[in-house]
């Protein structure tokens, strides 16, 4: 998808953003160099690799896992992750009897410091509307079948708490290093719409 297709005129949103930005710069309300720094941070400085490190640490270190479940924000901060939209973290653990999945039905709230900015599907009406009423059907679309004897627990992030799913550690990973374990942890497994990769 070309970002700057020079054969097309700028789109209406592009023109409106340009007008808004130049107006606010003219009024000395915003600094255009600082405007760019925000998106840059979310494209290059945070992302799901942060959350994967948290999960891998919890798989290896049982004391860390207990701290993570007791106070998500503080334990995540031990790995130097935190900040905007991660100030109030609660980590929810998948078990053999409970599978957790996270949404924000009202908008798009998501734990940015551990997962980056959310994917388009997370913000879509289809996900937001259906994950609360028919989670198993949505999970099946993602390729995840949850057994009837497992509780599916949906978290709707409607206040300031942001949720991160701690998925179950895959079998066949005994003795693996944290780095190698982190490679199995996908973004979707920390939202709850997938489970981690299996060892090859």
Partner 1 sequence: MNGIADMGGMHGFGPVDRSDDAGPFHHEWERRILGITFSALGAGLFNVDEIRRVTEAVDPITYLKSVYYERWLYSTEALLREKGVISAKELADGRSATPAPNTAPPVTQDIARVILEQGGTSRIADGVPARFRPGDAVIARNINPHGHTRLPRYVRGKHGTVVVDHGIFALPDTNAAGLGPHSQHVYGVRFSARELWGPQAPARDTLQIDLFDDYLDPAAQRAT
Q: Which residue number, 159 or 171, has a Cβ lying nearer to partner 1? A: 159
CA distance 60 to 162: 23
By the rule CB under 8 A, 8 interacts with partner 1: no
Cα distances from 104 to residues 24, 97, 110, 123, 156, in angstroms, run 31, 23, 8, 8, 5
Q: Which residue number, 160 or 174, has a Cβ lying nearer to partner 1? A: 160
Q: How far is the CB of 193 from partner 1 (least distance, A)?
A: 9
Tokens in use for 156? 């709707």
Cα distances from 111 to residues 29, 42, 195, in angstroms, run 28, 12, 18
Residues 84-113 interacting with partner 1 (rule: CB under 8 A): 84-88, 90, 105-108
By the rule CB under 8 A, 171 interacts with partner 1: no
Q: Which residue number, 119 or 199, has a Cβ lying nearer to partner 1? A: 119
Tokens in use for 127? 């996900």
Q: How far is the CB of 11 from partner 1 (least distance, A)?
A: 7
By the rule CB under 8 A, 198 interacts with partner 1: no
Tokens in use for 13? 């949103």
Respond yes or no: is residue 107 known to be catalytic.
Answer: yes
Q: Are strands 98-103 and 89-93 parallel, antiparallel or unpaired?
A: unpaired
Q: Which is the catalytic residue, given 107, 124, 129, 177?
A: 107
Respond yes or no: is residue 22 known to be catalytic.
Answer: no
Q: How far is the CB of 162 from partner 1 (least distance, A)?
A: 10
Respond yes or no: is residue 189 known to be catalytic.
Answer: no
| Residues 21-40 as x/- pattern, contact with partner 1 by CB under 8 A | xxxx-xxxxxx-xxxxxxxx
Tokens in use for 42? 């979310």
By the rule CB under 8 A, 74 interacts with partner 1: no
By the rule CB under 8 A, 11 interacts with partner 1: yes
Size of the site for partner 1 (CB under 8 A): 79
For the stretch 146-152, contacts whose Cβ atoms lie closer than 8 Å and that sit 24 or more positions apart, written own/partner, are: 146/99, 149/97, 150/96, 150/97, 150/98, 150/99, 151/97, 151/98, 151/99, 152/99, 152/101
Task: Indicate which single residue of 61, 66, 78, 141 sits in contact with partner 1 (rule: CB under 8 A).
Answer: 141
Task: Indicate which single residue of 130, 144, 170, 199 sits in contact with partner 1 (rule: CB under 8 A).
Answer: 130
* Contact yes or no for 54/113 (Cβ under 8 A): no
Return the active site residues: 104, 107-109
């Amino acid at each position: 998808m070309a970002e700057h297709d020079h054969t097309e005129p700028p789109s209406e949103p592009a023109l409106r953003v340009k007008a808004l930005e130049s107006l606010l710069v003219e009024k000395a309300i915003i600094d255009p160099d600082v405007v760019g720094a925000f998106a840059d941070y979310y494209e290059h400085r945070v992302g799901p690799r942060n959350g994967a490190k948290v999960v891998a640490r919890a798989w290896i270190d049982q004391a860390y896992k207990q701290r993570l479940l007791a106070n998500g924000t503080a334990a995540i901060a031990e790995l130097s992750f935190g900040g905007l939209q991660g100030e109030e973290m609660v980590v929810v653990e998948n078990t053999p009897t409970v599978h957790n999945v996270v949404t924000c039905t009202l908008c798009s709230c998501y734990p940015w410091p551990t997962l980056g900015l959310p994917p388009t599907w997370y913000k879509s009406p289809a996900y937001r509307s259906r994950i609360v009423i028919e989670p198993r059907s949505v999970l099946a679309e993602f390729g995840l079948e949850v057994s009837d004897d497992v509780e599916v627990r949906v978290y709707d992030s409607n206040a300031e708490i942001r949720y991160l799913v701690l998925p179950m550690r895959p079998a066949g990973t005994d003795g693996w290093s944290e780095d190698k374990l982190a490679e199995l942890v996908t973004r979707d497994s920390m939202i709850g719409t997938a489970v981690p990769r299996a060892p090859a």
